[in-house]
Homo-oligomer: A and B are copies of this chain.
Amino acid sequence: MSETLRRVRVLVRPKEGILDPQGEAVRRALPALGFGGVGSVHVGRLIELEVEDESQVEDMCRRLLANPTIEEYEWEVIG
């Protein structure tokens, strides 16, 4: 393996209009814990990985890390 691994952060979230049961669970739980003034809540996944070749990341997202039918994703090199 190369010595030059780049750290990449991928954020995956449900697409607009797709059911987000985890987000809904959090949204309902917050007032019950005394936290008021909360609007929308969305829960997704965070994936942080080290890669040699960042040109592969877009494909990794489409083929494994996200489900493009129901999820949107974004990624960035963080180190």
Contacts and interface: CB of A to CB of B under 8 A. Distances in A.
Interface of A: 1-2, 5, 11-13, 23, 26-27, 29-30, 33, 35-53, 56, 59-60, 63-65
Contacts of A49: 26-27, 38-42
Contacts of A35: 51, 56, 59-60
Nearest to A37: B52
Contacts of A13: 46, 48
A49 to B, nearest CB: 4
A30 to B, nearest CB: 7
A46 B11 contact: yes
Given A35-B60, A64-B30, A43 B45 contact: yes
